Amino acid sequence: MAAASPCSGCCFSRRRLLPLPNNKRTPFLTVPFTNRPLCAIKCEHYRRRCKIVAPCCGEVFACRHCHNDATASGDRHTICRQDVEKVVCLLCDTEQPVSQVCINCGVNMGEYFCDVCKFYDDDTEKGQFHCYDCGICRVGGKENYFHCAKCGSCYAVALRDNHQCVENSMRQNCPICYEYLFDSLKGTRVLDCGHTMHMECFSEMVEHNKYTCPICSKTALDMTHHWALLDQEIEATIMPPVYRYKVWVLCNDCNKVSEVDFHVIGHKCSHCNSYNTRSTSRPADLSGSSSPSTSDSSENNP
């Protein structure tokens, strides 16, 4: 039976009128009716018509995240999604091997179903799709994503040929909250340097006036306007004569050193104009008793 209509029988079971085809069991729903949208169970994560049997502990949960949350305090362990073998139909309470349609009552247990991830979800507006390179289901619409083999994850099509690839960039923990990024339920942001973090962790970082990648210290936002403001401020703030000396800075953006005027407001890289610099010692190849020009000329005049 194809369960095409939005209600495939659970409304009947609500009225306790549904005799099962084989009369084996009475309709029984394991979730309370209150707050329960018609036709499906809705946990914090998904809407579907089955629960899963955890392969690790044999207990029944709405979804693997519910299982992981429940075991987070205490006997902490997580479900490997591909390992789920059994589900329990919410309508007829039949425990059965994973498939989209209940073998007993024929209800469609999830509008979206992936038999690799053993994943069910009725909210198809999320645009779920399975990426065979990632090996997991993703959301956001297949047409909006491509898989970057080097970064090891699916990225928005806008980033195709338009991002700095970092080997397995997404197979890391978020540098802010330390959650593993690859299969995180939260959106991620790819910084200009190619490193990744949660979208919301990025926003929080910017709110705290931090504009650099926590991993490599490169500028993470377009700072053109901000740098122009610093130019103006520096021009308007004359340093007293005692502070008029030169310092060496290393640029976090282009990794080059330059010798610049000391200023309390900031030091601008003379190569790429970024103020994302830090003071450094005089480069080794320029230090010593003779000046660079002298050593050059001595090399040219053996």
- Which residues sit at the interface with Zn ion, rule CB under 5 A? 43, 45, 62-63, 65-66, 89, 91-92, 102, 104-105, 114, 116-117, 130-131, 133-134, 137, 147-148, 150-151, 154, 165, 174, 176-177, 193, 195, 198, 201, 213, 215-216, 251, 253-254, 269, 271-272, 274
Q: Which two tokens stand for residue 211?
A: 């504009």
Residue number with CB closer to Zn ion (159 or 264): 159
Q: What is the nearest approach in angstroms of Zn ion to the Cβ of residue 294?
A: 27
Q: How far is the CB of 91 from Zn ion (least distance, A)?
A: 4
Give whichever of 117 and 260 is closer to Zn ion, judged by the CB atom. 117
CA 68, CA 85: separation in Å to the nearest integer?
17
Amino acid at 130: H
In the complex with Zn ion, the residue whose CB is nearer, 31 or 265, is 31
Least separation in angstroms between CB 95 and Zn ion: 10
Q: Which of 210, 178, 174, 209 is nearest to 195 (CA)?
A: 174
Cβ 239 to Zn ion, closest distance in Å? 22
d(CA 172, CA 194): 12
Query: How do beta strands 50-53 and 47-48 pair?
Result: unpaired
Q: Which is nearer to Zn ion, 54 or 66 (CB)?
A: 66
What's the rounded Cα separation, in Å, for the pair 178 and 89? 36
Report the first-to-last Cα separation within the chain, whole angstroms: 93
Nearer Cβ to Zn ion, position 134 or 239?
A: 134
Q: Which is nearer to Zn ion, 129 or 295 (CB)?
A: 129
Q: What is the DSSP letter of 248?
A: E
In this structure, the chain runs to a length of: 302
Q: Is 56 exposed, middle or buried (0-12, 13-18, 19+ CB in 10 A)?
A: middle
Name the minimum Å distance from CB 123 to Zn ion.
13
| DSSP β-bridge partners for residue 234 | none
Least spacing, CB of residue 155 vs Zn ion, in Å: 7
